[in-house]
Structure 1
């Protein structure tokens, strides 16, 4: 406004009231346009920053390496048994693919499961094979914030797999009603490298 009064004083009385109003309107129009552009730029930046974490899914980087632990295995035709397990995750393709090997053994049973899984966004897809019972099939599911929830299926088996990773600790639970091993639950710790 000080600039406006200086402009009026410079021209003296040659500026009429409508001219002064036109100058004020023109200035306020440009001023409003500049504010609107700044607000749009800020809101666009905030939208991009808010969306960035959702786009940057972690992949399999947090599970890479070997894990060991113990838990229980429930065969379909027997009592629950204590089991020792070893899980290896070989991560590839910048963390978007993993080859997983799960070996568990109790006094009476063994399970040797391998899977190749790819991640696209949060979606998982791949295949699996269990060598002790010679079964294999498809893997599908989600990997979100350290929680993998997947369905492992073949022509005769459907199992639900949940893997939760926090730092160097992991829980691995598989539920497969009607399968040769109907339930596996293990707590794992990452092996020292």
Structure 2
């Protein structure tokens, strides 16, 4: 169940980042991305994450994405559909390994994104800042009994 939590947040990270650009935001993201980060568990242990993402632009304001991440004890296989309109980010996600899904909503102002990701068992807040071809992401679980406290991830375009 907690892998679902992190999968939802990753979908938000990748999908939400697209609205940080003006106009041709999704066109700039199309292609392959890769990154590393750290996930922190509720027992305060940490593991390194390795992530790959693929973006497909559909009609300029819509993006389909596929994300795969892994750490020593964690694996995620995520699909998402994201849209941006007037600074509002929204979409849906599904995690194939656990067969679960959820929604996401938030705002985009310049290069900063703030999004809330939800599923029936999980809520998380994340912040994203884009600097050229790099992205810095911070995630914080708001689910009290979650086994994941949060994560930090850096992504770069291949």
TM-score (norm 1): 0.61
Deviation at 1:107, TM superposition (A): 0.8
Choose between structure 1 and 2: higher helix proportion: 1
The CA RMSD measured in Å over matched residues stands at 2.3
Selected match of 2:46 from 80, 86, 110: 80
Unaligned runs of 5+ in 1: 1-55
Q: Give the aligned partner of residue 125 of structure 2.
A: 160
Unaligned runs of 5+ in 2: 1-20
| Deviations 1:16-75 (CA, angstroms, capped at 9, x unpaired) | xxxxxxxxxxxxxxxxxxxxxxxxxxxxxxxxxxxxxxxx94343333222111111123
TM-score (norm 2): 0.72
Choose between structure 1 and 2: higher strand proportion: 2
Q: Is the 8 A contact 1:83 1:104 kept in 2?
A: yes
Q: 1:125 to 1:158 in 2, by over 3 A?
A: same
Cα distance in 1 for residues equivalent to 2:138 and 2:67: 12
Q: 1:155 to 1:93 in 2, by over 3 A?
A: same
Matches within 5 A, 1:91-110: 91-94=57-60, 96-110=61-75
Deviation at 1:105, TM superposition (A): 0.7
Structure showing greater relative contact order (alpha-carbon pairs closer than 8 Å, 6 or more residues apart): 2
Structure 1 runs, 4 residues or longer, greater than 6 Å off = none
In the alignment, structure 1 residue 138 sits paired with structure 2 residue 108: no
In the alignment of these two chains, the number of paired residues is 135
